[in-house]
Structure 1
Amino acid sequence: MKIVSARDFRLQREVDYGTAEQNQAVKDIIRGIRTEGDTALLRYTEAFDRVKLSPQDLRITPDELQAAYSQVEPSFLEAIRAAAVNIREFHMKQRRASWMDLQEDGSVLGQIIRPLQRVGVYVPGGKAAYPSSVLMNVIPAQVAGVPEIVMVTPPATGGKAGIDPYTLVAAAEAGVTEAYRIGGAQAIAALAYGTETIKPVDKVCGPGNIYVALAKKEVYGVVDIDSIAGPSEIVVLADDTANPAYVAADLLSQAEHDEMASAILITPSRPLAEAAAEEVRKQLAELPRREIASASIEQYGAIIVTETLEEGIEVVNRLAPEHLELMVENPMAYAGLVENAGAIFLGAYSSEPVGDYFAGPNHIIPTNGTARFSSPVDVDDFIKKSSMIYYSKEALFKNGAAIMELARHEGLEGHARAIEVRLKNEGEAE
């Protein structure tokens, strides 16, 4: 890994929203789904996944979900169940309640919290399968009270319509009862607009490739989306008490995700910087996904040497990373200084995979510096809020003149008269 000073480091983040050809291809796919429904969905599945399906084949049956249990190890089942308990308990603490406030004049103001009615969860099935993402999407929606949660995931390519059994078991454990073997931009379009087989949803969430990301961007407004996710990111802020082997392992845990993933160490300790760089080299040689991780480290990896930890915090806040590890002697003392980070891991034993899989907080976290203004997926992503206003006659007579003043200032006489007619009519009645 290249070692640079904070003074010489320049953040060069490129937000990739696809080429013109990719964007046009996605627009064409969405148009096809909107106009032809299942016919287009089956055609695109055959073209892109090389799997020929009938409309009856689209849905993953309850029997398939149950049959998947015989194809996974008992240790996996035990682990996924324990993770689900932790994730559910963490998100239960995020639930909101509707509220009402009775005013002295008899008016009632409040907020009504309702769950979304139908949510679509996209689960990738290309380079790798991610059962943990099933839990991270489905469980917060369930805790929010969403009554209909539908999962889509691509079939195995090359003429096979099967789905990764670990993904199916995770879905069954999370409580998914409606699932379809479709992927890509066509799956996003089907969720957003519906087909003869699939009812449209209110929100689409879950990661995917560039075509999935572009499709989510395209359908936003017709439905809500969680985010347009970029490549994974990790920043480790460490002092000379950190174990360089731990630092290197955690950097590589994200570098192996994607050639465009970013892994950065920030430290005021030159000896740690050099030891961590050597550890990355050694561990990389034995990593099964070393080609992907090597490309990530070469293109988007760096070790930044600062004068102080406080200067390191300043760099962290500029980067606004998806994952931040504080591998320092007293991590709690620095956690409060972090303004921009999706998830903060404190101490030597809070390795990033602890959060990815098991601890409970959501692992769907803002990327590309969007932690400056956005948050990890949580229960709030699956609710909607309605303001409630009951105004009493006393309140209207008391405040009517002020309301009319503001309306007329904005040139909206009709607004003012809607108040005025009540004041005149009720005044005459008295």
Structure 2
Amino acid sequence: MRNILAIIVIAFSFLAVNSQQIEFVEYDLDNGLHVILHQDNTAPVITTAVSYHVGSKDEEEGRTGFAHFFEHLLFEGTKNIEAGQWFKIVEANGGSNNAYTSDDQTYYYEVFPSNKLELSLWMESERMLHPIIRQDNRITLQEGVVKEEKNFRLRNAPYGALLYAVRSNLYRKHPYGRLTIGLDKDLEAANIEDFKKFNQLYHKPNNATLVVAGDIDVIEAKMLIKKYFNDIPSSELIKKQFPKEDPITETIEATWYDPNIQVPALLIGYITPKMTTRESRVLNLLSTYLSDGKSSVLYKKMIDEKKMALGVQTINLAQEDHGTYLMLAVPLGNFTLDDLLCEIDEEISKVQKDLISDRDYKKLQNILESQFVSRNASIEGIANSLSDYHTFYGDTNLVNTEIEIYQSVTKEEIREVARKYLMPNQRVIVDYLPGDENNKTIIE
């Protein structure tokens, strides 16, 4: 009877996930701007988002940090929005906004009451068409803001440099080995023409995706988008060629000293396939199996049973050019980093030799479906998903169909991918150790 009920529950779960189709309309303006509209009139709220397909990997050597710098600068006012007024306008109209920069994109979004649709579109068109880029106190101010952010998030934050400690050793040619926030000296050396050139190349409609989601009328939204965006000139995009990263054939060992910590950490990194591949999705499932939640393999073994770790986590950081498979563990008591490494290696070896159990496989599918639904549970989440699927995959409808790819992954594929990409000779191991003012790894 229990087996029958379990089958029914799984069947209804599958139907529920697949019935939540996200409807959308997409098209291009004459200037190359890709537009995606999603109408959901259940609440009087809209999200307007613009993704520029430029991140830290696209920056020139010696001019790092530009993508992140512009994330800040483009809130500093435009031809028709005075300096310091952007956030005040948003708040005065009942809205909120934010932005982020990654290695692969810069993403801006506003959340407004739905009767402020035109305002949100006008503001984003101003950001694209009329940014103020001149050598005045705005640029100096934002350079200072970026430095403070670096101090807060990296230099002075406990374990703040974990990702950089791995990737700076893992990627010896590709710009994924850089700091996303860039080097201080590069921003200091840049002149106004450098900033204008970067903006002219990348913050243009033919390098952008505009998403409007929520309580909209599609016909009205199209009219307003044409009004505010259609006449913005496009740019001549440069097709960038990134250096090919040589495969790692022998373990790379490194040490990083962080004066902000008292307990060391073990970091392990592997180069894995880019985000659009099936193998990348299999690696996502593998990381869920190993460390997602208290019932995961590594959590149960290293935290619950052996009480040898304060925390353990694995994640496949899927990106446009490569993926980075990361493992992190923090020891408890007298256990060493080598002890943690042995336990992790033992579990990886098991996955490489044997198929995971039917029970664990079903649990993986349930977790996956829950994550898929959660990501698209809000209008903001849907807008972000629609944007990412177009920008990085060239297939916006993956917002509805990607789960089918995950559901088709077999236990055999999980084993084969672990064998192919997680071998000991293919990795970087970083001992992330407590330091002090006289013994610390410098972040420029």
TM-score between the two structures when normalised by the length of structure 1: 0.29
TM-score between the two structures when normalised by the length of structure 2: 0.28
Structure number with bigger Rg: 1
